[in-house]
Amino acid sequence: MKLLTTLLAVIWLSNVFAQTLDLPLIEVNETVVAYAKVDEIHFTLKIKTTENLIKDARDENRKIAESVFAVLEKRNIPKRFIQTRRMSVSKNFLRNKISQNVYDGFNATQVIYVCLKDLNAYDDLIDELLEMDIENIDGPHFKSSEYEMVLKAAKIEALSKARETASNMASALGQKIGKAKLVSAMQNQSVNNTGYNNNRTASTNDAQGGRASFEVGEIKVQASVNVSFHLLD
């Protein structure tokens, strides 16, 4: 019974596809480029401690992490904008003069993700964090909380332009367009982490005004659609 149902479904889909191919279609591609205002800075902290005992490596790592959390709390960064991974522990090996791995205690590693909404506070915060026992800070990555909203609006505009273009093309042929038969949105090429016209970056504030030493600009948002319309006589 299941096999019969499957065969009937395949036959039905084949007929539908064949009918679609027989329809006279007009296909258009449209791309809309928009920009989203940067209102978030994301960065990642990595804390790594090495001790002879696992417990000591974990305890030292937690101690540093607590100091980081205290700094972030002092800066009034909400807890929902701070995320941590589960602490990982591994054996630490050093390579000696004859290129052999020599066991040398344990590594404890913790990664902390931070989202900063006050863009002007970034430089001072990073300066303070760099004075702590932190192995690495990755960032900044500029993002926009409006990104998805801007992308959605860009897709709608692209669809509207696609219909207008198809209508104009059909009119030039003395015809009209009917309903859309196939719509696909191409993968957006923009990534919500890069500032537009972000030409100046540094790690300190301007000496004269105390303003941020970077220009975050805007994030490019690109929406592309491919639409096929029924071409009417």
Q: Can you give the pLDDT at residue 185?
A: 87
Whether the Cβ atoms of residue 68 and residue 43 lie closer than 8 Å to each other: no
Do residues 134 and 68 touch, judged by C-beta distance below 8 A? yes
- Condensed to tens digits (0 to 9), the pLDDT of residues 194-203 reads 544 433 333 3
Extract the tokens encoding 78: 């909400």
17 assigned to some structural domain? no
**Residues spanned by the domain of 132:** 40-142
- The total domain count for the chain is 2
- 107 and 92, same structural domain? yes
Cis preceding-peptide flag for 140 (omega within 30 of 0): yes
The answer to the question of residue 3 being in a domain is: no
Contact between 215 and 122 under an 8 Å Cβ cutoff? The reply is: no
What pLDDT is attached to residue 148?
Answer: 93
Q: What is the pLDDT of residues 77-117, one digit of tens each?
A: 999 999 998 999 988 887 665 566 777 789 999 999 999 99
Q: What is the pTM of this model?
A: 0.70
- The mean per-residue pLDDT over the stretch 123-146 comes to 92
Q: What is the pLDDT of residues 5-37, one digit of tens each?
A: 554 454 554 554 545 456 799 999 999 999 999
Where helices occur in the chain by DSSP H, the ranges are: 2-22, 54-74, 122-130, 147-172
Helices (H), 23-145: 54-74, 122-130
**Last residue of some domain: 85, 110, 142?**
142
Q: For position 61, which CATH number holds?
A: 3.30.70.2970
In contact, 112 and 47? CB cutoff 8 Å = yes
Structure tokens at 228: 């096929």
pLDDT tens digits for 166-187? 999 999 999 999 999 999 987 6
113, 155: one domain? no
The answer to whether residue 74 sits within a structural domain is: yes
Q: Does residue 156 sit in the same domain as residue 219?
A: yes
Domain boundary among 80, 107, 142: 142
- Are the CB atoms for 210 and 191 separated by under 8 Å? no
Domain boundary among 118, 142, 166: 142
pLDDT at position 193, please? 57
Residues 181 and 225 in one domain: yes
Same domain, 32 and 46: no
Q: Are residues 52 and 102 in the same domain?
A: yes
Give the closest residue to 27 by CA, choosing from 167, 184, 229, 165: 229
Same domain, 126 and 166: no
Which pLDDT value is given to residue 91? Answer: 87
Of residues 57 and 189, the one with the higher pLDDT is: 57
Q: Are residues 129 and 217 in the same domain?
A: no
For residue 193, the domain's CATH number is 3.30.110.170
Q: Based on the domain organization, do 66 and 104 belong to the same domain? A: yes
